[in-house]
Amino acid sequence: MWKLIGFVGLLILGIWGFNAYAESQAHPIPEVTANGEALEVREGSYCWDGFMNAMCADMVYTSAFEMGDREKAPALSTDDVIQFRFDRKPLPGTLTAELWSGTEQSMPIDFQNGTIPVPDQEGYYVINLSARWEQGSGNYGFGFYVNNSYEETGVVVPFIHPPALTVRAGDEVKVIEAGTSEWTYTDPSSETVSTSGIAPPRQELMASLDPLLVRSNEGIAFEFGLEPLKTDLEVWKADGSSLPISEKPDLSGFEGVTVFELTATWEQGNGQYVFALDIQN
C-alpha cells in the first residue's frame, strides 16, 4: 500500500516537474504594467526552439504601430512610468525598445531596469520591445494613450525617411517605399540628420515590379502618411523616356502593363515612387 502511495506521489511530482520545465522553456512574453495595472501585450513574428519542438510564427503587421490594441489601451498621465519584465533574461545587449506614434514614425527609447517614462505630449503611442535568447527571438507591442487623448500625434517623433506611398486602384491596394530620395530631419537630440536613397537602374527596377491589376474604367488614388507639398506623375515609355501626365490619369488611355513614377516633395525633402499597373479594358 505504501509503495503504491509512494509511486503515485513520485508520478505526480514527475508530471509537475515536467510541466514546470516545459513552461520555463516556452517562448517568453513580457509582463507590462503601469500604475499596477497590466497592459495588453501582442506578440510579433518570432522563431523559437522550445523543449518539445521548434517553430516560427509570422504575424502580419504593416508596422509595429499596429501591434497596439487601441480598444484595450489605458490612459496614462505624463507622471506615470511603464514597467516591464521577462521571466527569462534576454541575452546581453539584445533588448531594445522603440516608441511609435504613427505607422512610419518611430524612435529608439532609453530604459533603465525595465522602466520606461511616459511621453510628455498627448496622443496614442505604441512601444515595441525586441529581444533575443539562446532559443530564439521575439518582438512585442503594447499601446497606450497619454492624458486621455484619443488623437494620434505627429509631432513627437519625426519622419526619418520619406513616407510610403499607398496606391489604391479599384479594390486593389499597394504600398510602395521611396526609391531615389533625399531627406532631412531633426532627431530627439536636436541634431540635423540627412539621408538619401538611390533606386536601381531603370531596366532592373522595371523587371522587379509586381503590377497591380486594374480596370481601365477605374480610378486610382494616392495617399501618404504625410501630405506632400506637390506631386508630379510620369509614365515610363518603352524607349526609356518619360512622359508627364495628370496626377489623376485617365486609365482608358492605357492598356497592359504600364509603369508610373510619382515624385513627391515635402519640406524635409523628396522621394520617387515607381509602380506598375496591369490595365485591362
Q: Tell me: the pLDDT tens digits for 20-63?
A: 334 445 789 999 998 878 999 999 888 888 656 677 877 777 78
Strand, helix or coil for residue 90: coil
pLDDT at 142: 94
Q: Are residues 199 and 249 in the same domain?
A: yes
Q: Are residues 142 and 189 in the same domain?
A: no
What are 128's three cell numbers? 515595441
Q: Are residues 134 and 191 in the same domain?
A: no
Higher pLDDT, 6 or 178: 178
Exposure class string for 115-154: b at 16+ Cβ within 10 A, else e: ebebbeebbbbbbbbbbbbebbbbbbbbbbbbeeeeeebe
CATH at 103: 2.60.40
**Domain range for 60:** 29-146
pTM value is: 0.49
CB 47 within 8 A of CB 56: yes
Does 8 map to a domain? no
212-246 pLDDT per residue, tens: 888 888 878 888 878 899 999 888 876 667 777 76
Does 69 map to a domain? yes
Question: β-strand 105-108 against 115-117: which pairing, if any?
Answer: unpaired
What are 157's three cell numbers? 517623433
Q: Are residues 142 and 110 in the same domain?
A: yes
Task: Tell me how many domains the chain contains.
Answer: 2
pLDDT at 257: 85
Question: Please, which pLDDT band fits residue 182 given cuts at 50, 70 and 90?
Answer: very high
Does 23 map to a domain? no
Q: How does DSSP classify residue 112? A: B
Separation of alpha carbons 108 and 113, rounded Å: 16
Is a pLDDT exceeding 70 seen at residue 16?
no
Strand, helix or coil for residue 127: strand
Q: Are residues 262 and 177 in the same domain?
A: yes
